[in-house]
Amino acid sequence: MTQTPASFLPFVKPEIDEETIAGVVDVLRSGWITTGPQNQAFEAALSEYCGGRPVRTFNSGTATLEIGLRIAGVGAGDEVITTPASWVSTSNVIYEVGATPVFADIDPVTRNIDLDKLEAAITPKTKAIIPVFLTGLPVDMDRLYTIARQHKLRVIEDAAQAFGSSWNGKRIGAIGDIVSFSFHANKNLTSIEGGALVLNNEDEAELARKYRLQGITRTGHDGMDCDVLGGKYNLTDVAARVGLGQLKHIERFTEQRRKLAHAYFTGFEGSAAVTLGVGLPVADMSNSNWHMFQITLPLDRLTISRAEFMEQLKQRGIGSGVHYPAIHLFTLYRERGFTDGMFPHAEQLGKTTLTLPLFTQMSVADVARVCRAIDEICTQYAK
């Protein structure tokens, strides 16, 4: 294995302040460490952030998607339209609830689901849509909800990567139908692992609470009942305390990420890499929370593969990642009838995408270093 330099720049790193660390210690000493007062406080703070809408916390952004589908009444025989360019949990949950995922290809510019293709994929069996806001960039929300209303479809927004994003001045989470956030370690707001569902009313919130923990209510025989088939998806108070500590900084986090994204665009302007064909994301500086900065590699014009490119970055002390290979080409999906060539834009993105370092404690000088390294590698390995 190659040695990595001491000043290694990872592609992601959470920022947890000392107050949060002390807060976690307090929770650990409090005598109540699973779901309790910290979760209540986290839900209240998230609800306030989302314009007063009801919020329920969960132990992952996969659980929130699955329960979001259940609350929307999606089940066996239903179709749910989503994008093949996402983390596989986006569509795995559709199978989990007994429904069928129907993919619509992405728009190669935004890299999000193409809304024309989404509309064309609607059938009488379509019950819901799961749009994904990849890297924190929302889809055209006005158009999305016009389509949803016209076809009477529920929307479960996969906003796993979009905490802190907005749509024309309105926060993601404060608008829309059911909204699903992930607080996984790499997300802009983390609770180590975790997630939250933003719901439309108290009935949905109560159903979410029941699905979260075995369907239990405090009424019924012997002071307890179970009236829906719930699971075990509750968030610990230790995790909720981390999330609460993060929420305090979310505006600063987003601002810093936008500043770094801007520095990437400046760094790549007129660069050898871009001249060679490195692709840049949409330069959205108002809606996106810049969860990730992803370029696409012109592999047909390079003598090295993406894996070798990543190794070259690593040798220069720079981490990178791949988010994500197209879902429909995974074995499970191939076994269910999906094949190469069905969604060419998502396939091309999956093969060429590369996530560059972006986290709040990075500097503009770090960004410049990454851009220089990419230029150097592209120049060295150009065909």
Residue 158 in contact with ligand PLP, rule: CB under 6 A: yes
First CA to last CA distance, the chain: 27
Q: Given candidates 47, 86, 256, 352, which one binds ligand PLP under the rule CB under 6 A?
A: 86
Active-site residue, from 187, 210, 314, 383: 187
| Of the candidate residues 49, 87, 163, 290, the single one contacting ligand PLP (CB under 6 A) | 87
β-strands 353-356, 293-296 pairing: antiparallel
Q: Given the rule CB under 6 A, which of 86-94, 147-155, 296-304, 371-379 is the region that contacts ligand PLP?
A: 86-94
Asked whether the beta carbons of 183 and 250 are under 8 A apart, the reply is no
- Residue 132 contacts ligand PLP per CB under 6 A: yes
Residues 39-68 that bind ligand PLP (CB under 6 A): 60-62
- Residue closer to ligand PLP, measured from CB, 89 or 352: 89
Is 170 a residue of the active site? no
Does 289 interact with ligand PLP (rule: CB under 6 A)?
no
CB atoms within 10 A of CB 130: 27
Binding ligand PLP (rule: CB under 6 A), the pick from 9, 67, 160, 329 is 160
DSSP-assigned states of every residue in 277-334:
T-B-----SSS---S-EEEE--GGGBSS-HHHHHHHHHHTTB--B-----GGGSHHHH
Provide, rounded to whole angstroms, the least separation between the CB of residue 74 and ligand PLP: 16
Give the residue at shortest CB distance from ligand PLP.
Answer: 61
Q: Characterize the bridge pairing of strands 293-296 and 216-217.
A: unpaired
Q: Do 157 and 179 form a contact (C-beta atoms < 8 A)?
A: yes
Under the criterion CB under 6 A, does residue 90 sit at the interface with ligand PLP?
Answer: yes
Q: Which residues pair with 178 in a beta bridge?
A: 156
Question: How many angstroms separate the Cα of 103 from the Cα of each of 94, 129, 132, 346?
Answer: 11, 10, 12, 10
For binding to ligand PLP (CB under 6 A), which residues are involved?
60-62, 86-87, 89-90, 132, 158, 160-161, 182, 184, 195
As annotated, the active-site residues are 187
